[in-house]
């Protein structure tokens, strides 16, 4: 800011440079929606590896296909996922002794037990909290005696005067396993008398202990199957189901595996999800129906003829990509037997891996796009069958003798040759979404600034620097910045009428890289030299 001069001498004034660095957003945060063994429902929970997923939502289970899909994501290079657990008519395990209930619904809650003791509680400790020694007790919760997590809460109480040490508040803030039950009016249902200490020989952490002596939880019930669109999509106003992702800051890819291994994700769910991805600047990964690959001899023709029945069309289809066929994997929960699985988690992990090694502008396909953790494909397509499906925008998974199983297609569902859409290719579309989201977040500072040439110059400077950095990384076509991109914000884009309306218009253009889908090698036989 300007200095106030008062005495003869030299004054130093710092002048703002106007540089506001625009940072590119993440490109491969993947959202998964489906049922799980445990965990909070209708809440977007971020996990950074499969161990995180197991801790929050349970291990692989044949009745919960999402667990396999998330495993495949990390196995193929995924880095960060957002999990939305869905449930229908499920129940929480409860305990009458202390009026506790499992933190999440599901049958796993029946494995939870706890002990109560008063070890280490003294008059001095009680005085510190403004209570008597007789008011306090310790609670130890065991997720699965001898196997799971153990949580211990010292110096808790059930009286109203307990304040910060009141049991319901402590469990709400610190426990991942249990909560105090609530009354119909929403208030905590605390027991009226202090719980009795557990017997000295009760040690749930000892595998040889007599489990009949433990304080049990009962009544837990897993979710029913999700049979309708409403079960998965949920309610936008209440932010449930698919719309629970409204509570997530950012996701780039969306996977909705079928509710059972042999079934398909409903078409109307994909249709709703595709529109939602358009609003959130994300890409929906669509799994082909199981019936397409049921007959190996006619699989390609079936996929060709039934593509239109999915009704995944229109402008929103630019934000969706379909992969065919499904994959074969060994199932550790069924003694390694080979079964058929959807590939959406594998594809999302592959996209994350490609983004890390090459950039979002590189097509997630080709000989480097190997599919890890699979034993084969539901259908082995040949060149002719691939050539039948590729012009329709169906991305094929192929098996080659030396290179193994790879992704051999990189088109959106607007990628059919007949449509001639400008967002035909996945890398071009994802690059655009990346730029849009980055600029949306990186230009928030512009709001309420004076709308005139000094602001426009700053906008050109900052967005231009961001685009030039992408150009240097090889994200665009062209050998010079002029050929690769442009940023325009001046009196031509923003008229006086726009200024009067509080509007500043910024036009950003770029020349996207498009994959070399067809490599044509021309050979010519040289005629023998004729000497004259």
Domain locations in the chain? 1-22+447-532, 30-88+224-427, 94-216
pLDDT at 113: 87
- Helix, coil or strand: residue 454: helix
pLDDT at 203: 64
> Residue 305 burial by CB count (10 A; 0-12/13-18/19+): exposed, middle or buried?
exposed
Q: Which CATH class is domain 30-88+224-427?
A: alpha beta
Q: How many other CB atoms are found less than 10 A from the CB of residue 257?
A: 27
d(CA 320, CA 299): 22
- For 163, the token pair is 């304040």
> Which segments of the chain have a pLDDT < 70?
1, 199-214, 528-532
d(CA 519, CA 398): 18
Region of 106 (left: φ > 0; alpha: ψ -120 to 50; beta: rest) is left
pLDDT at 146: 73
What's the pLDDT tens digit per position in 420-446?
999 999 999 999 999 999 999 999 999
pLDDT at 19: 83
d(CA 93, CA 112): 8
DSSP state of 293: G
Ordered DSSP codes for 76-104: TT---EEEEE--SS-B--EETTTTEEESS
């Amino acid at each position: 800011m300007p200095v106030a001069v008062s005495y003869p001498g030299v004054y130093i004034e710092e002048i703002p440079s106007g540089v506001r660095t625009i940072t590119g957003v993440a490109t491969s945060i993947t959202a998964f929606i489906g049922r799980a063994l445990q965990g909070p429902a209708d809440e977007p929970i971020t996990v950074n590896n499969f161990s995180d997923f197991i801790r929050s939502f349970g291990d692989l289970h044949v009745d919960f296909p999402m667990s396999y899909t998330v495993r495949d994501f990390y196995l193929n290079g995924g880095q960060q996922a957002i999990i939305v657990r869905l449930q229908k008519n499920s129940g929480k395990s409860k305990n009458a002794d202390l009026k506790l209930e499992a933190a999440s619904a599901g049958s796993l809650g029946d494995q939870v037990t706890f002990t109560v003791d008063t070890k280490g509680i003294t008059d001095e400790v009680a005085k510190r909290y403004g209570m008597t020694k007789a008011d306090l007790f310790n609670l130890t919760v065991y997720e699965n005696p001898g196997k799971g997590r153990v949580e211990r809460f010292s110096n808790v109480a059930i009286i109203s005067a307990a304040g910060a040490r009141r049991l319901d508040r402590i469990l709400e803030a610190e426990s991942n396993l249990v909560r105090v039950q609530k009354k119909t009016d929403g208030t905590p249902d605390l027991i009226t008398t202090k719980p009795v200490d557990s017997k000295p020989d009760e040690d749930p952490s000892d595998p040889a202990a007599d489990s009949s002596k433990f304080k049990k939880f009962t009544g837990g019930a897993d979710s029913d199957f999700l049979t309708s669109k409403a079960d998965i999509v949920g309610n936008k106003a209440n932010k449930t189901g698919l719309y629970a992702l409204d509570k997530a800051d950012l996701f780039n890819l969306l996977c909705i595996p079928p509710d059972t291994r042999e079934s398909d994700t409903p078409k109307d769910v994909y249709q709703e999800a595709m529109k939602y991805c358009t609003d959130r600047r994300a890409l929906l990964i669509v799994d082909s129906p199981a019936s397409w690959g049921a007959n190996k001899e006619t699989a390609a023709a079936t996929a060709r003829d039934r593509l239109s029945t999915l009704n995944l069309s229109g402008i929103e289809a630019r934000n969706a990509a379909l992969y065919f066929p499904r994959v074969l994997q060994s199932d550790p929960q069924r003694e390694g037997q080979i079964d058929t699985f959807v590939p959406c988690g594998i594809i999302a992990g592959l996209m994350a891996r490609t983004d890390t090694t090459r950039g979002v502008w590189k097509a997630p396909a080709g000989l480097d796009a190997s599919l890890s953790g699979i034993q084969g494909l539901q259908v082995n397509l040949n060149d002719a069958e691939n050539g039948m499906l590729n012009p329709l925008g169906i991305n094929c998974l192929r098996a080659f003798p030396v290179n193994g199983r790879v992704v051999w297609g990189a088109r959106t569902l607007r990628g059919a040759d007949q449509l001639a859409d400008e967002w035909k290719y996945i890398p071009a579309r994802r690059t655009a979404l990346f730029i849009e989201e980055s600029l949306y977040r990186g230009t928030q500072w512009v709001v309420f600034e004076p709308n005139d040439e000094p602001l426009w110059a700053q906008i050109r400077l900052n967005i231009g620097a961001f685009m030039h950095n992408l150009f240097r990384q090889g994200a665009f076509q062209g050998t010079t910045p002029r050929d690769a991109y442009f940023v325009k914000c001046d009196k031509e884009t923003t008229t006086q009428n726009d200024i009067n309306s509080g509007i500043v218009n910024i036009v950003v253009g770029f020349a996207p890289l498009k994959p070399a889908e067809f490599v044509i090698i021309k050979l010519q036989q040289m005629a023998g030299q004729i000497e004259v």
